[in-house]
Amino acid sequence: MLTAWYFPSRVLSWQDAIKMVYEGTVDVLAEYDEQVRSPSVTWNMPAVVRLRRNVGGFKKGVKFSRMNVYQRDKFTCQYCGRKLPWEKLSYDHLVPRCRGGRTNFLNIVTACKPCNAKKGNLTCDQAGMFPLSRPVKPDTLPLVSRLVHPGVAPVEWEPFLAPFTS
């Protein structure tokens, strides 16, 4: 889904896209070859939709989420330094939850799955594993996150992602 200004916003399920088309809140910019049928109507399945109007105002601050942690850390494991696609990453509590650690920007870093398993539920001192950079609560993040990796997105999405993947 694109914003009203044609910025990639998020990836929707096909069911949500159809619902939004039916409600008239989005315009269909690209379609797949597959069709969705009901007793009264047949539609081509939307591949790319654009909001007709942007909803809500901008909120201050950055909401804590897994993807925002990955963005803050530039999709890089904070223990071994490898840059990986988000599917191969997890996040790690510096102070484990079983030891009272909180799930927030200041206690979470991006970790690859092998490093996260190696550290386990130990503190950094106990494991001898320390993050490459100190975790901070970001004031802002890049305007457009990498929702999908180039070459993985359906061909119908490419014209709309091209300005943001170079």
- Residue 120: which CATH number? 1.10.30.50
Pair 53, 4: CB distance under 8 Å: yes
Question: 79 lies in a domain?
Answer: yes
Q: What pLDDT score does 134 carry?
A: 94
Query: Domain span at residue 17?
Result: 1-58
- Per residue in 20-42, pLDDT tens? 999 999 999 999 999 999 899 89
**Partners of 93 in the β-ladder:** 108
Residues 48, 82 within the same domain: no
Question: 97 lies in a domain?
Answer: yes
Lowest mean pLDDT among 33-37, 57-61, 116-120, 141-145: 141-145
Question: 156 lies in a domain?
Answer: no
Q: Which of 80, 154, 125, 63 is nearest to 72 (CA)?
A: 63
- Per residue in 27-85, pLDDT tens? 999 999 999 998 998 989 999 999 998 766 556 678 898 988 998 999 999 999 999 99
Question: 162 lies in a domain?
Answer: no
Helices assigned H by DSSP within the chain: 14-23, 66-72, 113-119, 124-127, 158-165
Residues 37, 73 within the same domain: no
Q: How many domains does the chain have?
A: 2
Give the integer Cα–Cα distance in Å for 81 and 83. 6
Residues 5, 48 within the same domain: yes
Band the pLDDT of 2: cuts 50, 70, 90: confident
Residues 48, 10 within the same domain: yes
Q: What pLDDT score does 56 carry?
A: 63
Residue 123 CB contacts under 8 Å (≥ 6 apart), including other chains: 94, 95, 96, 99
Residue 20 CB contacts under 8 Å (≥ 6 apart), including other chains: 1, 12, 26, 49
Q: What pLDDT score does 59 carry?
A: 60
Question: 90 lies in a domain?
Answer: yes
Average pLDDT estimate for 124-133: 95
Residues 23, 75 within the same domain: no
Residues 41, 3 within the same domain: yes
Question: 143 lies in a domain?
Answer: no
Question: 140 lies in a domain?
Answer: no
